[in-house]
Amino acid sequence: MTPQTLYDKLWDSHVVHVEDDGTTLLYVDRHLVHEVTSPQAFEGLKLSRRKLWRISANVATADHNVPTTDRKLGISDAVSRLQVETLDANCREHGIVEFGMNDPRQGIVHVMGPEQGVILPGMTVVCGDSHTSTHGAFACLAFGIGTSEVEHALATQCLLQKKSRNMLVQVEGALPRGVTAKDLALAIIGRIGTAGGTGYALELGGGTLRALSMEGRMTLCNMAIEAGARAGIIAVDDTTIEYLKGRPYAPTGQMWSRAVDYWRTLTSDVHAKFDRVVQIDAGTIKPQVTWGTSPEMVVAIDDRVPDPDREKDGVRREGIERALVYMGLEPNTPMTAIRLDKVFIGSCTNSRIEDLRAAASMVRGKRVAPNIRLALVVPGSGLVKAQAEREGLDRIFRDSGFEWREPGCSMCLGMNEDQLQSGERCASTSNRNFEGRQGAGGRTHLVSPEMAAAAAIAGHFVDVRQWR
């Protein structure tokens, strides 16, 4: 038998039907649902009098619009409230399991899913959200879809897909102190570009990956979409299995052993062929900071804001110039000289317990700098929040001057009240620094939780490798 990549295996095991041109009907094991991209899909079902194909395949939560302040007060914005209520009503009507706004298990859909064990190796996982790539960390074929496809998945438990090509990013060596999975993700995007992964399923492999926790692996796969790849995938190993054990929706007893036997086969075969391979030496990676309005506009912390005059390509030069104007930055400014107004620690990239522990360790016993108007910590889910509180992390943050909030997407995209004002500059642990992403006119710099926490204390970016 020809050796297969992990992606090939996942793909093959879900093929229901193939059209003449290769368009494939692919079976969907798990569909995650949230309030923003689902209402029009449910309405479509109703209009065409179609039913859900398999109710138990769907799990829902409200995350994008929910307030991160006192939930007892409800949602003040009427448009947001209607969207969340519409999700509640649709889930009730169709019998879908939902962790609603006041459920202790509520959280960002990509944090809640793995935490509950509804994401299991070998699954196809879809959600009307591009960061569904996160779940590839569990050797799932997981990718974001649009609302028409949400409706399609609800009605048929399948999606029409074309197979992607295989790309391997192989990372070897130990990550230096102060360098995290987030820095690795940004460094990969800096290297291959935001369209570098377009058309590929991106497997992340190598010794560095094997040493990463599931949290770190999720951070990496989360950012695969920022490299243009719809899916990022990591093979199963002991770390994966250890993480899943005892999760509420994970199998138990005999079923568990049977499942584990199967999950262990979910790796690329030794001689599997990839269409493209990128090698990365983890030892050379430094803490990363984005300076522009696309995640590929990224440099190391000891570097400077780029100078458009040195760019030969016309379209790129214009892109740099436009980004610098938007970001309010001068060419050649050292990254460590950039002063900040706000700091956001959260989002499906970096709001898990490990991220909060890492950030807390940077700020313990220190104070947020006076020029920082708001330093926000938003746990990824109610369970992450509760765990952090058991460990006393909330106190560390509060004592340092951070605000400790309720779980949700929050200032990752500012669909609720948590937003940047025009011109404000923010160190953010999220995944997108697009114009206006965190609020109209807001300026976003993407960094790791450690870098964001240290920047809050210093008031400007600092090299965490030198943090005492």
Partner 1 sequence: MEKFNVLNGLVAPMDRANVDTDAIIPKQFLKSIKRSGFGPNLFDAWRYLDQGQPDKPNDNRLLNKDFVLNQPRYKGAQVLLARKNFGCGSSREHAPWALEDYGFRALIAPSFAEIFFSNCFKNGLLPIVLDESKVDRLFHEVLAFPGYRLEIDLERQIVTKPDGETLAFEIDPFRKYCLLNGLDDIGLTLRHAEKIRNFEDKRKLDQPWLFG
Residue 79 partner contact from ligand SF4, partner 1, none using kind-dependent CB cut-offs of 5 to 8 Å:
partner 1
Nearer to ligand SF4, 135 or 286 (CB): 135
Specify whether the CB–CB gap between 37 and 128 falls below 8 A: yes
By the rule CB under 8 A, 136 interacts with partner 1 = no
By the rule CB under 8 A, 166 interacts with partner 1 = no
Specify whether the CB–CB gap between 354 and 448 falls below 8 A: no
Answer for which of 9, 135, 182, 230 binds partner 1 (CB under 8 A) is 230
Q: Which of 222, 48, 209 is closest to 133 using CA atoms?
A: 222
Segment 187-216, which members bind partner 1 (CB under 8 A)?
Answer: 194-195, 198-199
By the rule CB under 8 A, 246 interacts with partner 1 = no
Q: Which of 146, 294, 160 is closest to 223 using CA atoms?
A: 294
Residue 144 partner contact from ligand SF4, partner 1, none using kind-dependent CB cut-offs of 5 to 8 Å:
partner 1
Residue type at position 331: P
By the rule CB under 8 A, 408 interacts with partner 1 = no
Specify whether the CB–CB gap between 229 and 276 falls below 8 A: no
Q: How far is CA 46 from the centre of its chain?
A: 31
Q: Which stretch binds partner 1 (CB under 8 A): 81-89, 178-186, 274-282, 400-408?
A: 81-89
Answer for which of 46, 92, 310, 316 binds partner 1 (CB under 8 A) is 316
Burial class (CB in 10 A: 0-12, 13-18, 19+), 162: exposed
Nearer to partner 1, 20 or 238 (CB): 20
Tell me the C-alpha distance between 26 and 416, whole Å.
35
Rounded to 10 degrees, the C-alpha dihedral 398/378/376/428 comes to: 140
CB of 12 to ligand SF4, least distance (A): 29
CB of 11 to partner 1, least distance (A): 14
CB of 345 to ligand SF4, least distance (A): 12
Task: Sketch the per residue contact string, 317 through 356, with partner 1: x for CB under 8 A, - otherwise.
Answer: -xx--x----------------------------------
Q: Which stretch binds partner 1 (CB under 8 A): 250-258, 343-351, 384-392, 445-453?
A: 250-258
Tell me the C-alpha distance between 270 and 362, whole Å.
41
Task: Sketch the per residue contact string, 4 through 43, with partner 1: x for CB under 8 A, - otherwise.
Answer: ------------xx-xxxxx-x-x-x------xx-xx--x
Specify whether the CB–CB gap between 387 and 353 falls below 8 A: yes
Tell me the C-alpha distance between 50 and 48, whole Å.
6
Burial class (CB in 10 A: 0-12, 13-18, 19+), 191: middle
Nearer to ligand SF4, 101 or 409 (CB): 409
- Residue 192, SS3? helix
Nearer to partner 1, 215 or 226 (CB): 226
Tell me the C-alpha distance between 279 and 172, whole Å.
8
DSSP strand pairing (298-300 vs 288-290):
antiparallel
Specify whether the CB–CB gap between 289 and 461 falls below 8 A: yes
Residue 348 partner contact from ligand SF4, partner 1, none using kind-dependent CB cut-offs of 5 to 8 Å:
ligand SF4
Segment 283-302, which members bind partner 1 (CB under 8 A)?
Answer: 294
Q: Which of 59, 61, 62 is closest to 28 using CA atoms?
A: 59
Q: Could you tell me if residue 182 is left (phi over 0), alpha (psi between -120 and 50 degrees) or otherwise beta?
A: alpha
CB of 68 to partner 1, least distance (A): 16
Task: Sketch the per residue contact string, 90 through 129, with partner 1: x for CB under 8 A, - otherwise.
Answer: ------------------------------x-xx----xx
Longest dimension (CA), the chain: 65
Q: Which stretch binds partner 1 (CB under 8 A): 140-148, 169-177, 344-352, 391-399?
A: 140-148
CB of 150 to partner 1, least distance (A): 8
Number of chain positions touching partner 1 (CB under 8 A) = 78
CB of 171 to partner 1, least distance (A): 24
* Helix ranges (DSSP H) in 48-146: 78-94, 109-116
Interface residues with ligand SF4 (CB under 6 A) are: 63-64, 108, 110, 129, 131, 347-348, 409, 412-413, 430-431
Nearer to ligand SF4, 294 or 431 (CB): 431
